[in-house]
Amino acid sequence: MSKQQVQRLQGVHILLVDDKPEEVENLLTVLQAQGARVTVASEPRKGLQLARVFDPDLILLDVHMPEMDGFAVCRLLREIPSCQTTPVIFLTSAADVADRVSGLTLGGADYIVKPFAEEEVIARIVIHVQLAKRVQGVGLPVDASPLIEHPDQVFLQAALRLISEQLNNLPKLGEIAEQVGTHDKKLSAIFRKHLGMTVFAWVREERLRKAQELLARSQMSIEDVAAEVGFTSAANFATAFRERFLVTPTGYRQSVVQGL
């Protein structure tokens, strides 16, 4: 390892979230020897808490963990304002291509498969920490959303984002809950408490809201709009739209055009 790499690790705070940290003990030893500060969480929820408290420079994240997998952890991290730009490196034995794509799609900066060479991991850590500092240094816009204090808000925001991104092929409630690191009853309770409606009711509202947007801003056919927002048929979509807004999709589009 070069002296330059060692210097760049001095004072760098790294959070490791892994249910079996003993498997990467050699890596932790090397990191500490190079001057990095390492915090370890062997339980996913504890890792989220530590990420909020310490605001680390980089997070090493396992994928396959009990109760909550690394993908759910990464999804939740992206809903915590202070962690939205923190580099996340998946460090895992999950070598499947689909897993790699999932991790990177969720915002992971890198994906390293175990077993690995410590020198490679450290080199990638140095690269991503430096990239993050450059982004901060040029003053790129930072999410100005208010600091989320209650853990329920993190689960809620993650679920809302997932629903919005997958309206046309939405997973079942249990799968949505699992992907945001909780269970269906807990997620349902969070929706009722903070939004005053069930998850199903929110999905319906979001589909109709998105449909309004597509009808007003695109030339998509009614059938294509229905499919895009997740309705099984144009007829079902038209009925739901009329019940909600007291106008047909075609009538709504015409009123928007006339109002321009």
Domain spans of the chain, in order of start: 3-137, 151-259
pLDDT digits (tens, 9 = 90+) for 30-74: 999 988 999 999 999 999 989 988 889 999 999 999 889 999 999
Query: Mapping DSSP to helix (H, G, I), strand (E, B) and coil, where does residue 39 land?
Result: strand
**Predicted pLDDT at 137:** 56
Contacts (Cβ under 8 Å, ≥6 apart) of 170: 163, 176, 203, 230
Domain 151-259 class, CATH top level? mainly alpha
Q: What is the DSSP letter of 132?
A: H
Is it the case that residue 21 has pLDDT exceeding 50? Answer: yes
> How distant, in Å, are the alpha carbons of 14, 126, 243 from that of 123?
14, 5, 58
Q: What pairs with residue 14 in β-bridges?
A: 38, 58
pTM of the model: 0.68
Q: Is the pLDDT of residue 1 over 90?
A: no
3-state percent breakdown (helix, strand, coil) of the chain, nearest 5? 60, 10, 30
Higher pLDDT, 137 or 142: 137
Q: Report the chain's mean pLDDT, rounded to a whole number.
A: 86
Question: Which CATH architecture fits 3-137?
Answer: 3-Layer(aba) Sandwich (3.40)
Confidence of residue 184 (pLDDT cuts 50, 70, 90): very high
**Element of type H or E holding 91:** strand 88-92
Please indicate whether residue 100 or residue 168 has the higher confidence score (pLDDT): 168
Mean pLDDT of 176-196: 91
Residue predicted with more confidence, 220 or 141: 220
Q: What is the pLDDT of residue 258?
A: 73
Average pLDDT over residues 126-155: 65
Q: How far is CA 41 from CA 155, 168, 203, 236, in A?
A: 20, 36, 34, 48
Phi-psi region of 42 (alpha: psi -120 to 50; beta: other; left: phi over 0): alpha
Beta strands across the sheet bearing 110-113: 37-41, 13-17, 58-61, 88-92, 110-113
Position 16 confidence tier, pLDDT thresholds 50, 70, 90 = very high
Work out the average pLDDT over 143-155: 62
Question: 84-108: per-residue pLDDT in tens?
Answer: 889 999 988 877 788 888 888 888 8
> Which pLDDT belongs to residue 194?
85
Q: Looking at the predicted structure, is the pLDDT value of residue 135 above 70?
A: no
Q: Is the pLDDT of residue 252 over 80?
A: yes
Q: What pLDDT, on the 0 to 100 scale, is given for residue 178?
A: 92
